[in-house]
Chains A and B, each alone.
Chain A
Amino acid sequence: MRRTLGVVAAGLAATLVVAGCSGRDLESDNKSEGGSGEQITLKVAFWGDMGLDNLKAAYEKEHPNVKIVLNSGEFNAQHEDLQKKLVAGSGAPDISAVDEGFIVQFRNQADKFVNLLDKGAGEFESKYLDWKWKASQSADGKQIGLGTDVGGLAMCYRSDLFEKAGLPKDRDAVSKLWTNWDDFIKVGQEYTKKTGKKFIDSGTNMFNPVLAQQPVGFYDEQENLQMNGGPKVAFDVSMKAIDAGISANLASFQPNWNQGFKKDQFAVLACPAWMLGHIQETAPDQKGKWDIASIPGGGGNWGGSWWTVPSQGKNIDAAVDFVKWMVQPAQQIEVFKTVGNLPSQPDLYKDPAVLDYKKEFMSNAPTGQIFAATAANLKPQYLGKKNGPTRVAVENVITRVQQGGLKSDAAWAEAVKQAEKVAKTGKA
């Protein structure tokens, strides 16, 4: 009898342990380890390569009680994960990067983030590009993020492929080939005619940089969809490029795109500063084959991120300290040098460490000068709450044209229809 009860008790206890332990384990991560002072672990979530490996080592050396765990994931997945954890109330990283496409969504939930102004971040305001500072601010003035980088635009090109096609190789001469997008498409046609290969990776990678150059994007500041402004201009350019037959029709950041790099399926790639890191990561053996020219139509901003501190964290102060340290000029320059991300503090554009820097991978192109110059032309664009899904919807229409399922002259009506559908579900 006693044995029966004992077994039952053990069984129930085991069940409870199984059901309960996972949660407890996760929490204990952040608590003190051992008895020697307070050991703190900071989890940092981001995507791609944000140049943190060296920074992490340096910071840990300076702060022996802080351990930094880097978690690099997929771009969209990281943002969605953050959103889920915010709603769930636990499990968010101590520090999370947020991209411009998502910052509006998150600044509308500012109470779920630490207001960095409460932590003395106000002193940084004057250092930042004005629009970059404001973009991570909620309507009632809470600052949820400190800017990391901005996406000043340029055009990356394969100088070796250009040479083979009889086009100029030198970056100044290439820049002179195209002052506007029509010229650019003409050069592409010439290239395709001579080599039989495609010139650009995809129509969507024409659409996005052109859209980034427009004063108004998908939404105005009252969150009204404005398809007939910037989006129409950008859409027409991308349709023209597809009709000209210069697009390799590869979906960006996907396996086929990565393969396209290796098989020389395209020769140019619209290049915000952060794209340099991607190229380097995707095609490491193409060192010295890439170079950077200016982009048709002048500057523009595409991408750029902020560091945020979700308020559910257990080590908020340590997290804020680390973020403040990361946005200091020395660290910003370090990141710029390792992965190419352009700092969002204009003073740094005049810093010799940035101006004189030459990127070896990109045929020693002076990336500092190139991107600092485009950053001067930056026209910030308001990105609505539904900017991300709207972009996906329009990109899908462009892909359908590329796949032959839709004629280019019927595509615009379809794009408007799809975008309106997204905009509507946002308000329902």
Chain B
Amino acid sequence: MSLTELRPASHRPAPPPKNVRTRSWLHRFDNKTAPYIFISPFFILFGIFGVFPLIFNGVVAVRNWRLDDPTLTGWAGLDNFNRLLSDEDFWNALGNTFGIFILSTVPQLLIALVIANLLNRKLRGNTFWRIGILLPYLTPVVASTLVFAIFFARDNGMANWFLSLVGFGQETPLDWRAQKWSAWIAIATMVNWKWIGYNALLYLSAMQAIPRDVYEAAAVDGAGPWRQLWRITVPMIQPVVVFTVILSTIGGLQLFNEPMMFDENPQSASGGSAHQFQTIAQLIYKVGWKDLDLGYAAAMSWALFLIILIVAGINTLLTRRIGGDR
């Protein structure tokens, strides 16, 4: 455009092109509708595989739906949820789930933080350590759990061998599956082993974004490494901490594979002879596909959904507070 052409626009409207209507329609389509079509595959798939099952599950939860007795059918209202309140198996499973959840999440995130902090320093062979710490995460959970199940075996298990080195349980080896506390520890160990490296890498990547001069200033002011970790690093990576806390809350409350494979008789899904380590996810599976009571299982999974929402919310609030939220 040149200055010489700066004259007023003609009042006469330009002669309408023959196909202006089509063109403007196409233009509008291109601008307004096409983007939605481009992203529609996600929403269509999400609708089919995400929203629909969720809603359908809600419908099943208020119905009688028994595969072993097709005559028992129809609306159940809130019966399934009422039954939940007085079901001692459910509360037992809830207790187990929270026990294992706390035993696994707390040490897992703390150790991950310390490891990430170590890896964040100048180290020889940085990449080697960083890849090495992710390796447990790459192992299929079934494979690693099988190995741990042997590790925690009563006869000839490595864990008991270690214990016997310090003079414990030589007469009667510890049956890890028999007691709540020992089974919980064994399962939490499996979870920790798998997820520490993953969380450490997340923390590490966030830590790398913290400017160095903050630490230098802190060091000048006389803050030691621990103080720096808690007063600078953790607050500055707080969004990632919140993220990992939510992730491990969801994962921890849905724990299924580890207790399942740890059981001596995995097919019964009973989580030990007295349900010592039966988690809610396992109980849902058992009620749904062993007892073939799908309505009740659906009610349980809705309950679990609500519990996860509540716990994740509480955890987020707590983490924000710990992180010294502004």
- Is the Cβ of B45 less than 8 Å from the Cβ of A15? yes
Contacts of A400 in B (CB 8 A): 178, 273-274
- Is the Cβ of A255 less than 8 Å from the Cβ of B291? no
List 13 contacting pairs A-B, 8 Å CB cutoff, sorted by A: A8-B38, A15-B41, A15-B45, A83-B67, A251-B265, A259-B155, A265-B155, A389-B290, A392-B268, A396-B273, A399-B264, A400-B273, A405-B178
- Is the Cβ of A396 less than 8 Å from the Cβ of B291? no
- Is the Cβ of B149 less than 8 Å from the Cβ of A255? yes
Contacts of A83 in B (CB 8 A): 67, 292
- Is the Cβ of B273 less than 8 Å from the Cβ of A385? no
CB distance from B193 to the nearest CB of A (A): 20
Say yes or no for B267: interface residue by CB 8 A criterion. yes
Say yes or no for A65: interface residue by CB 8 A criterion. no
Name the one of A11, A105, A109 contacting B41, with C-beta atoms under 8 angstroms: A11
Q: Which of A376-418 contact B (CB under 8 A)?
A: 385, 389, 392, 396-397, 399-400, 403-406
Which A residues fall within an 8 A CB radius of B? Answer: 1, 4, 8, 11-12, 15, 19, 74-77, 80, 83-84, 87, 105, 108-109, 249, 251, 254-256, 259-260, 263, 265, 385, 389, 392, 396-397, 399-400, 403-406, 425-426
- Is the Cβ of B267 less than 8 Å from the Cβ of A11? no
CB distance from B142 to the nearest CB of A (A): 13
CB distance from B37 to the nearest CB of A (A): 5
Closest to B266 in A: A254
Name the one of B179, B264, B273, B291 contacting A254, with C-beta atoms under 8 angstroms: B264
- Is the Cβ of A256 less than 8 Å from the Cβ of B155? yes
Take A83-B67, A392-B268, A392-B270 as given contacts and tell me if A4 and B34 are in contact as well, using a CB distance cutoff of 8 Å: yes
Name the one of B30, B154, B267, B274 contacting A256, with C-beta atoms under 8 angstroms: B154
- Is the Cβ of B41 less than 8 Å from the Cβ of A405? no
Which B residues fall within an 8 A CB radius of A? Answer: 26, 30, 34, 37-38, 40-41, 44-45, 48, 67-68, 70, 149-150, 153-156, 175, 177-179, 264-265, 267-268, 270, 273-274, 289-293
- Is the Cβ of A4 less than 8 Å from the Cβ of B156? no
Take A19-B45, A251-B265, A403-B273 as given contacts and tell me if A80 and B290 are in contact as well, using a CB distance cutoff of 8 Å: yes
- Is the Cβ of B178 less than 8 Å from the Cβ of A254? no
Contacts of A256 in B (CB 8 A): 153-155, 264
- 6 tightest A-B CB contacts, nearest first: A403-B178, A399-B273, A76-B267, A251-B264, A396-B273, A400-B273
- Is the Cβ of A1 less than 8 Å from the Cβ of B264? no
Contacts of B290 in A (CB 8 A): 80, 389
CB distance from B160 to the nearest CB of A (A): 13
Closest to B27 in A: A1
Closest to B41 in A: A15
- Is the Cβ of B267 less than 8 Å from the Cβ of A74? yes
- Is the Cβ of A403 less than 8 Å from the Cβ of B293? no
How many angstroms between the C-alpha atoms of A87 and B68 in the bound complex?
A: 10
- Is the Cβ of B38 less than 8 Å from the Cβ of A404? no
How many angstroms between the C-alpha atoms of A425 and B80 in the bound complex?
A: 13
- Is the Cβ of A396 less than 8 Å from the Cβ of B270? yes
Please name 6 further chain A to chain B contacts, defined as beta carbons within 8 Å, in addition to the given A11-B38, A406-B274, A426-B68, sorted by A numbering. Answer: A15-B44, A80-B289, A83-B67, A109-B70, A400-B178, A405-B273
